[in-house]
Structures are given as C-alpha cells and as structure tokens.
Amino acid sequence: MEGKRFIIKTDHESLKFLLQQKLHTHLQKKGMTKLMGLDYVIQYRKGKENIATDALSRCMEEGLATYITAVIPNWCEEVTGSYEGDARLRGLLEQLIVMPGSKLGYTYENGVIKYKGQLIIGDSEELKKRIFQALHESPMGGHSGVQNTYHKVKQLFCWPKLKEEVMQFVLACDVCKRCKHETVAYPRLLQPLPIPNQAWESISMDFIEGLPKSKGRDCILVVVNKFTKFGHFLSLTHPYTAQEVARILLDQVVKLHGFPKTIISDQDKIFTSLLWQTLWKSLGAKLNLSITYHPQTDG
C-alpha cells in the first residue's frame, strides 16, 4: 500500500476520527506508527449501503462445496432404541410422525419424543440406571435425597412410575447408607408397664379388623389379662360404636372377672370417645392410652 493513495471504507463511524483521537494504549500507539507512512482516506458508509465490503468479505471460490456436520450423541441413539421394546411408545411415535400435534403436550424432535419439554424414556432399565447415576451419584447430583433427586430427573426426563423408581434407587444407594445418619429422633430406653399384683387387675384391649366375614362378624376385640396372659376374643361387626364395645365388654369380661383397675389400649377413636372415657371413669377404672410399637402409656 506504500507509494499510492487509497481509500478505506468502513461502517464503523468512530474510525473517521482515528487520526484525531488520543492514544491511550500501547496497542494503539503501535498501530498508528504503521499507518503514519501511508497515504489513505477513511470514508464512513452505513452498513446497509456498504454492499461492496460485505460482498468482498463473503467471497467464495466457485466449485467450493460446503459441508454441514451434525453430531448425534450416543445417549440419543440409546433413547430411540428404548422405544423399540415399548409397544405404547412405538404407537405414539408413529402417530406423531404421521400427525404432528395430534397428542396434546407431546412433540417429536430429532428422533425422540418429548412431553412438555421432558424427554420420554422407553422401557430400558440400563438407560434409567445410568440417568439415576448421573443425577444422583455424580458431583452434580451430590447423593441428594429422594425428593431432590426426583426433581432433578423430572426436569429432564419422563416415564411411568418415575418417583417410585427414584425412591428405590436412592434407598438402595450404598454410599448414602454408609455416610448418612438417620434424621429420626434417637430412641430412648424402654419403659415397661408395671406388673399387676393379681389377675384381672389390669387388662389390655385392641381390635383385629379386615377379616373375612363369618356369621356376619368381621372384627375381633382382643382382651388380655396382663398378669396371667389369659385372653378373650370377642366378635364384632364393623362399624361399631363405643356403646356396643362397652356392652360386650361388660357382658363377656366384667361379668366373669370383675372390674379392672386399669385398662391399656391404643388411641383408637372408640377408646378416645367421650362416652368411653365417661363410662370407665364412673366405674372407677383408669384408662392408660398408648401408641403403636411403644409400651409407654400416658399413665
């Protein structure tokens, strides 16, 4: 370019003032020293008018072929392969190919089926296991709990009984079992019930329900003497009331053994009803309510 005058056309308007601006950086100073010995003129033209420059910058030789390479991940092929063993998804796939948009919320893109943006996975246990490992055991998953892992998987993937399978995988994770402590309260020492002094001084009561009907009865009231472990098994028909239970107890137990001092039971709605409480309070028996798997009572 030396020895002759030339024109620089640009769509960058600020370059018109190239020779008038202050130089602040070393790169600018170095560039200006190269331009100092040249004879040129800078002309500004708007981008839409600068057709010649755009044409030169996009010049291609004749006969030059252009190739577009599409990268298809291996897991994408595994997803499409999982549809082959699932009859429901095969039918859905054929329907979406023939009539796109016929199923509300479902779309077909690049060989895979999506539901509301979530990738649908077919019947492939190996592929599901790899997804769980990636979103639970990897550094990104961080061995999160059931709920967090479920939300991570649900954001990307979708298949039937997803939450159940996530729960089974997380609960079976060996690292979580060995490294995570239980969040439940630490069990305290057992508090056994006091030993009665004589037979039928203290009795326990509970119901056995959901039995097949026999002579119209489908429930059993079990009354056990805490001293001798002798028991009465009294048949009932569901539903029953506190008044009916009290009547059969008086006729079948109290009539034979007398009134107990204490009655131990769980917190069934029959035993916590006002009628039941008032009845045994008036008869002089104390009610000790307990809960499942705990021998302690409110007494």
Q: 3-class SS at 4?
A: coil
Mean pLDDT of 193-214: 89
CATH C-level class of 75-179? mainly alpha
pLDDT digits (tens, 9 = 90+) for 115-174: 887 877 877 778 888 888 888 888 877 888 888 888 888 888 888 888 888 888 888 888
Q: 3-class SS at 41?
A: strand
Helix H or strand E segment including 248: helix 242-249
Q: Give me the torsion for CA of 85, 87, 92, 97, rounded to 10°.
A: 60
pLDDT digits (tens, 9 = 90+) for 250-271: 899 989 998 888 888 888 888 8
Percentage with pLDDT > 70 across the chain: 85
Domain segments of the chain as ranges: 5-57, 75-179, 202-297
> Using CA atoms, how far apart are residues 162 and 130, in angstroms rounded to an integer?
14
Nearest CA-CA partner of 221 in 249, 242, 257: 249
pTM for this predicted structure: 0.41
Classify the C-alpha dihedral 25-30-32-36 as positive or negative: positive
Is 202-297 a domain of CATH 3.40.30.10?
no
Helix H or strand E segment including 295: strand 294-297
> Using CA atoms, how far apart are residues 257 and 199, in angstroms rounded to an integer?
9
Contact 142, 150 (CB under 8 A): no
> Using CA atoms, how far apart are residues 153 and 147, in angstroms rounded to an integer?
10
- The count of other CB atoms within 10 Å of the CB of residue 159 is 21
